[in-house]
Amino acid sequence: MDSSQLFGGVMVAYIIATVFYFVLFLFKSQRAGQLGMLLALGGVLVHTVAIGLRWYESYLMGIGRPPLTNMYESLVFFAWCTALLYLLMEFRFKIRVVGTFVMPCIALIMAYASFSARIDDRITPLIPALQSDWLIAHVVTCFIGYGAFTVAFCLGVMYLLKQAAINRKGENTSRLAALPDLKVIDDLTYKSIVLGFLWLTAGIITGAIWANEAWGTYWSWDPKETWSIITWFVYALTLHARFTRGWSGSRIAWMAIVGFMSVLFLYFGVNFFLSGLHSYA
């Protein structure tokens, strides 16, 4: 059994978990919700093992490097962070139905990593620019941030859907009434953004320190750096609008979506459309 097969299994677990979460949402079956959660939890555990195994495999190949250095590995790690953060949130705040929105994203990320033709899943050695202890600190902090913003995005979408349903049909007639109170969703969105902002800040800082070690400048306005600061500004704007202008509800939900678009561009767009010093993620 190698790590690629395990990642495949993990993807299947997330897909089935998604189905169960949908059953929970559509038919209010607590049983299905529980199964969905157990599958997601199992998925995360195997996911963790698989990441460790891939690390070990790189040693067997005489390369020996953390599994965080190309698009495939970063997607897998992105999915892992998002899944872990989501489950922690589910346990802490008891809002299982939110999985209906988060789990498909996680399954999608894994599927994209596995099936996209432009993504190479081989273990290759590290080019000199990536041989640094800062690599782990930088990638881990960034991706915890991305994971939290992904959860915030899902919550934002959920908020807007529920609000639209309420506006159309009134409070209780809608299936979306099964979702948590708007106030609760709003609060969780805000909490996820705060968490993401903290980790994104740490990610930018570790990246700057690393850039200084490798290139001799902690900031050179390369497109990836610039998009990271743009994203940071978007969320800083969101947080300030919230505490000083009293923004909440749909405005914050929209900002969670706008912020996430910026994260997506930072993550994929920069690599596919712009040129710069970052070789991947």
Interface residues with ligand HEM (CB under 6 A)?
Answer: 236, 239-240, 243-244
Planar angle of CA 90, 77, 146, nearest 5 degrees: 65
Residue 164 binds what, of ligand HEM, other proteins, none (CB under 5 to 8 Å, by partner type)?
none
**Where in 106-135 is the site for other proteins (CB under 8 A)?**
124-125, 127-129, 131-132, 134
- Interface with other proteins includes 208 (CB under 8 A)? yes
**φ, ψ at 80 (rounded to 5°):** -65, -50
Amino acid at 78: F
The nearest distance, CB 243 to ligand HEM, in angstroms, is: 5
In total, the chain counts a number of residues equal to 281
Rounded Cα distance, 145 and 128, in Å? 26
**φ, ψ at 116 (rounded to 5°):** -65, 135
Query: What is the CA 240 to chain-centroid distance, rounded?
Result: 23
The nearest distance, CB 249 to other proteins, in angstroms, is: 18
Rounded Cα distance, 126 and 249, in Å? 45
Half-sphere exposure of 228 (CA within 13 A, CB side): 27
Residue 160 binds what, of other proteins, ligand HEM, none (CB under 5 to 8 Å, by partner type)?
none
Amino acid at 242: R
Rounded Cα distance, 54 and 66, in Å? 8
Q: Mask: binding to other proteins, 186-205, rule CB under 8 A, as x and -? A: --------x--xx--xx--x
Q: Which one, 98 or 200, has the nearer CB to ligand HEM?
A: 200
Rounded Cα distance, 110 and 77, in Å? 9
The nearest distance, CB 239 to ligand HEM, in angstroms, is: 6
Residue 167 binds what, of other proteins, ligand HEM, none (CB under 5 to 8 Å, by partner type)?
none
Rounded Cα distance, 79 and 151, in Å? 11
Residue 230 binds what, of other proteins, ligand HEM, none (CB under 5 to 8 Å, by partner type)?
other proteins
The nearest distance, CB 118 to ligand HEM, in angstroms, is: 34
Task: Give the footprint of other proteins on this chain (CB under 8 A).
Answer: 63, 124-125, 127-129, 131-132, 134, 194, 197-198, 201-202, 205, 208-209, 212-219, 221, 223, 226-227, 229-230, 233-234, 236-237, 240-241, 244-245, 270, 274-275
